[in-house]
Structure 1
């Protein structure tokens, strides 16, 4: 029997928290590339929080996933056949390959990955979109200064771990927020954060306030919700908040209950002159060469480390994705779809 294209389709749109019933597994014949096209075989499929938003039938910064189509997403693939100038069989690339084992590409937006520089999995990790997101949000938008206090939510995650290490490299005091003692120990002992606070601890707010005894100059926002509520009162004058994500709010189906806090919020933004800036990684694609150069250099020098959480088998992708939304992953979450010939 010939090899089939294994796919996970969006079966239905979730209301609130997604479930396994929102996904449907399918197998179709592996497509043949036409003129100006190439056939890619997925090796690593990236799972990222932004994919939750693509499941909704709402307008956003990127196209939504369509019902009955493979879920949106990027991956590291090997070129099996190529009719595209500049790409040849056997090369490794990062592309919008979606949740499937094989994909067709016309080469637009595809980037080559050199296994001699770093493991190819980093093409969707620390040297890919998470690295670009961390670099642009922290260095370009927040513009850290030595001695400042930086707070990073989701500190052990794909983006947060990079931000915290860059803050350390730039001479800042780094306070991480994570969801388990193991994750907190990792970001302090392995990544060099000064302090890490577990947001699940009953005295989380008190611990955070003590850790940030001189206030907060930069808060790199990955989470939203109760974590943001705890950090915001600690913001200093002229502090900066790059807004990267808000995973705590992704499954909301309506406005939160309770009093309207917006007037008081904007009052503090005004009085403290706080800069809040949302950003999307693809707005900063021109920074990719610098990201690869700088972060790659920090990795080679030992100044920066990374952790990957690799799930084996495309059949496990939906369950792993649901776990990601609940913070069950530890490091950059990947699904290994096929053999990686570059790994020993």
Structure 2
């Protein structure tokens, strides 16, 4: 078997502000000789199928000494991110040839997982072989979008932290994104009044006419304070936080007593590299005045919990029955990963952004 293409995306330089394709990333052309590649103990090789493009990746494009929940990407190395892959060669009894796995992989066509490397994708892989049984009824891309990062993030945070109750009001910022679209639909299933904001009229139309939100608006065209007063006359019981900054400040004024705020992200602050330029929320005292619960979380917090078991059961039922719609923005090919990533980061995509690397 001859060597095959293994093109990948290298991290060239740390960005200040929005990353630029030719400045901070580089497409490199390589090959990999899978047949003759010697594997160390517990090593394995993945054929990458789908890459997940998510806002958290921007937080890893940073200085090596700075702290975050994930280690920084390394200059001169292939960028890592979450994705779905097939094991094609293995010296690890936990990951056999033919297994489908989910975890941190390279932005490349094939990834050689080496257990002796201290790298971001040393996080354990999750075997997802049961997903094969759902094909072709539920395509693997939809399974990737609904049943992995975005799905568990949405379900776990809303159910375990938001504790939705029928008749309550939820407001979701960045509501047409990968996680927001699922949070809104789950909240509707639970009988909530669902309000969402997003950054384009196209996305507003998606929220209203496809996802059946009770109300949605383009935050770029309205006064947020006045709009929330109009759409949430009885206040906000759950605020699903994706944006941060001034939006959080305004929303706190509209939160009811005992409101819950699951903090999924603060994307408005990710491209601000100077700490002095970040927005300082001025009314945090409302958190104790109103007994508001603000709860940050990571998807991994739900691994191995009853919440994860409930999620797998409920999401499968909802997707099969059509109660959950998962809109995808699919970029084709490793050479287009950077464009897809930046489009997602600046809000040019609707729904879950993924890259299809290879057929399955």
TM-score (normalised: structure 1): 0.92
Unaligned runs of 5+ in 1: none
Change (3 A) 1:9 1:123: farther
Aligned to 2:7, the other structure's residue is in SS state strand
**Corresponding residue for residue 89 of structure 1:** 97
Aligned with residue 88 of structure 2, among 66, 80, 87: 80
Show the 5 A alignment for 1:166-315: 166-255=186-275, 261-262=281-282, 265-287=283-305, 288-315=308-335
- Number of residue pairs aligned between Structure 1 and Structure 2: 338
Instruction: Sort the Cα spacing of 1:138 and 1:301 in 2 relative to 1 into closer, same or farther, 3 A.
Output: same
1:29-44 matches, within 5 Å, as 29-30=31-32, 32=37, 33-44=39-50
In structure 2, C-alpha distance between the alignment counterparts of 1:260 and 1:74, rounded to whole Å: 31
The residue that corresponds to 2:125 in the other structure is: 109
**Cα distance, 1:112 vs structure 2:** 1.9
Q: Distance in 1 between matches of 2:4 and 2:311?
A: 37
Moved more, 240-249 or 106-115: 106-115
- Identify the match of residue 349 of structure 2 among 329, 336, 339: 329
For structure 2, list consecutive stretches of 5 or more residues without a partner in the other structure: 116-121
Partner residue in 2 for 1:129: 149
Number of the residue aligned with 2:339: 319
Shifted more, 14-23 versus 32-41: the winner is 32-41
Matches of 2:278 and 2:310, distance apart in 1:
45
- 1:79, 1:92 within 8 Å by CA — same for their partners in 2? yes
- Alignment match, 2:30: 28
Q: Residues 299 and 198 of structure 1: is their aligned pair in 2 closer, same or farther, counting only changes over 3 Å?
A: same
Conserved 8 A contact 2:10-2:77: yes
User: RMSD in angstroms over aligned alpha carbons?
Assistant: 2.1
Cα 1:315–1:258 shift into 2, 3 Å? closer
Instruction: Tell me how far apart the structure 2 counterparts of residues 14 and 322 of structure 1 sit (CA, whole Å).
Output: 12
- TM-score, with structure 2 as normaliser: 0.88
